[in-house]
Structure 1
Amino acid sequence: PTTTTQTPSIPIVQGLENCSSPSIIYVYVSQEQKENAEKFLETFIHEATRQGINIQNIGGCMVNATAQGWRLRLYPSLLIKGNISGLERYVEDYVDGLGIIDYSISEAVARYLQINVTYTYHVKVYIVNGLSKWTKRNITLTPEFIKTLQSIALAHVDSVERIDGNPPIKVDYRPTFLFYSNDDLTKGIIYMEKIGENYYTIKKQYMLLLATEFFMTRFVEIYFDPKVPEEDIPVVGNREAPIILYIFEDYWCPYCARFYKVNHELITELINNNTLQLHPLDFIVHRDVAELHALTRCLYEYTGNSSIYFNITLDLYYGFIDKGERPTIDTVLGIINKSMSNEMVNKIISCANDKVNEILDETNSFHDKYGVRATPTLLFWNRETGKGMLIEGYIDEEEFKNIIGWLRK
């Protein structure tokens, strides 16, 4: 909820037996929660309206969970009876044939209204620190932070333990939160996954969000092979080189341009001595730049020459920095025309017309799989040591060298 705008009161009846269909059911266990039923439902309905879901004419009920013999994950919670257009997609589970609306929504509304939340699930939380200087954080366990952990787990936090060494079960990335619970924490939470008997953590596609929002770092150590799809992707350097650098980039990204300008010599040196292989990946932040990426990708597909592709990329970024102007389709075609025949240029243009949607789909898949949100995002992976580093944003040459050194340890 982001506003306090008043929503007209809705009729609320007491007791499940009095609920008509369709209706929104407010479930409570404490007197405080019962007294705030009307305010809670008004806030929820107002926020739903802001999201384009019109439920202002839907009836409301409030039900005591204890009287029904229910054990929901938390209280207050929202259920729906019958079909309510637009709300079905937020139903995460069912109880007695009633749809349970995503618990995180109910929890957020309660927090916003400063209503005390009652959790029925319990967890022990391990704060798994990173092992590098970029990812090791000293989090202060304030009461507010404990509330934050409860909001993430949607469970009562019984205890918290910091771990700087090995956690009780292997995790795929650090820093992270590891949860131990006898309850199924994945139920009704899209971002939670089970990784062992009674152990849960946040899915990998949220690891950058977790790092930036809760650990205040844009670096994430990874301990799983990222297995980035490489079909039709340019690879600059020896494919047998131990360290892979995937760069999620956008030709209109000024910090991508700066990254290449500052680190070009170091990258070239590491490629030439067979330490590094470079994989540029299209990640479209600015929709109008997709056609430019499609042209360079098609050029690579027709020539199979990653060096030509890389040099054109450098030309585009250097021109961006030197002129202060975003590259255009004419900029790309002007560079290609210098080294390609008219016939080849026409083939590349034809190919690019069909390539745009493919590149946009790749952007979505990179977001869904790795949590990439911005450019540049750098993904280092050392195949020999089995560890890597995911970084959101620009790094300079000194930091680049330090990361390579850490990956080799």
Structure 2
Amino acid sequence: MIFKRQKPRLTPITKTDVVKRLLDLAVVKVGNSDKAVLVFFDLKCPFCARLFKETEEILVDMAKRGLVTFAMCDYVVHKEAEPLHRKLRCLSEEERLKLISDVYSGKRVDAGECPEGNLRECEKAAEEVGVYGTPTILFYNFAKGRGYIHFGYMPPSDVLDAISSL
């Protein structure tokens, strides 16, 4: 029996104001394009780690070239991840991707003591577009006022296909 891999399920969304607010709340934001790729993540989520390891370099490169805005917004599912998510807000923007990379690579990271910041605001806004778990990827084209949301892990080739469909 041969199993055919299913195409990712992309749910259409048209909530431009909410997506703009999410980009403002995102703990990581690289680039400034009409096309956005926003990842909702939890630092203790194994599929978030896999998605990050496989796509972060590609998405940061695309963002630096002006092709997309790449952003990451907290959506804490695992309670033990909260201190690490708070720590992200105590770091400079340049240091945040490194901390995420270190955590997802299994390195020991001291969370320290940091104020909560807008951790819960990001989660509340995420729920306005239907986010209910991690990882979730939101693809949005501001010029067209529409986009797609995908729940769960996506291989890099599918992420690139979804971006090209914007």
Is the pair's TM-score, using the shorter chain for normalization, greater than 0.5? yes
In 2, the alpha carbon distance for the partners of 1:234 and 1:366 equals 13
Q: Which of 74, 77, 90 pairs up with 1:285? A: 77
Structure that is richer in strand per residue? 1
* Equivalent of 1:254 in 35, 43, 46: 46
The equivalent residue for 1:176 is none
Q: Does 1:236 align with 2:29?
A: yes
Residues 333 and 393 of structure 1: CA distance in aligned 2, closer, same or farther (over 3 Å): same
Q: Give the equivalent residue in structure 1 for 2:3.
A: none
SS in 2 for 1:384: coil
Aligned to 1:214: none
Higher relative contact order (CA 8 A, sep 6+): 2
Name the SS for the 2:90 alignment partner: helix
Gap runs ≥5 in structure 1? 1-132, 135-216, 320-326, 335-348
- Equivalent residue, structure 1, for 2:13: 222
Q: Gapped runs of 5+ residues in structure 2?
A: 1-5
Q: Cα distance, 1:361 vs. partner?
A: 5.0
Q: Secondary structure at the match of 2:21?
A: coil
* Counterpart Cα distance in 2 of 1:364 and 1:288: 19
Structure 1 residue aligned with 2:102, among 307, 312, 315? 315
Per the TM alignment, residue 242 of structure 1 is displaced from its structure 2 partner at its CA by 2.0
SS state of the match for residue 298, structure 1? coil
Provide TM-score, normalisation by structure 1.
0.36
**Larger mean Cα displacement after TM superposition, 393-402 or 306-315:** 306-315
Shift of 1:234: 3.4
1:328-367 → structure 2 map (5 Å cutoff):
331-333=108-110, 349-350=112-113, 352=114, 354-355=115-116, 358-360=118-120, 362-367=122-127
Considering only CA atoms, is the larger Rg found in Structure 1 or Structure 2? 1
1:26-54 deviation per Cα after TM superposition (whole angstroms, max 9, x unaligned): xxxxxxxxxxxxxxxxxxxxxxxxxxxxx
| Off by >4 Å, runs of 4+ in structure 1 | none
Residue 388 (structure 1) aligns with: 147
The answer to whether the 8 Å contact 2:25/2:122 transfers is: no
Q: Distance in 1 between matches of 2:126 and 2:89?
A: 17
Corresponding letter in the other structure for 2:119: I
Counterpart residue type for residue 355 of structure 1:
E
Change (3 A) 1:361 1:277: closer
- Indicate if the aligned counterparts of 1:243 and 1:383 stay in contact, CA closer than 8 A: yes
Q: Conserved in 1, the CA contact under 8 Å of 2:42 and 2:134?
A: yes
Deviations 1:305-357 (A, max 9, x none): x23211211121122xxxxxxx7xxx3238xxxxxxxxxxxxxx44x1x317x
- Root-mean-square deviation over aligned CA pairs: 2.5
CA deviations 1:1-32 (Å, max 9, x no partner) are xxxxxxxxxxxxxxxxxxxxxxxxxxxxxxxx
1:6-405 equivalent positions in 2, closer than 5 A: 218-225=9-16, 226-231=19-24, 233-239=26-32, 241-299=33-91, 303=92, 306-319=93-106, 331-333=108-110, 349-350=112-113, 352=114, 354-355=115-116, 358-360=118-120, 362-367=122-127, 369-405=128-164
- Secondary structure at the residue paired with 1:275? coil
Identity of aligned residues (%): 25
SS of the aligned residue for 1:332 comes to coil
SS in 2 for 1:228: helix
Cα distance in 1, alignment partners of residues 41 and 57 from structure 2 = 19
* CA deviations over 1:255-283 (Å, ceiling 9, x no partner): 10100111133213312211111221110
Tell me, in whole angstroms, the C-alpha distance in 1 between the residues paired with 2:86 and 2:55: 25
How far apart are 1:365 and its partner, in Å?
4.2
- The AA in structure 2 aligned to 1:307 is E
Deviations 1:278-299 (A, max 9, x none): 2211101011211110011222
CA distance in 2, matches of 1:223, 1:371: 12
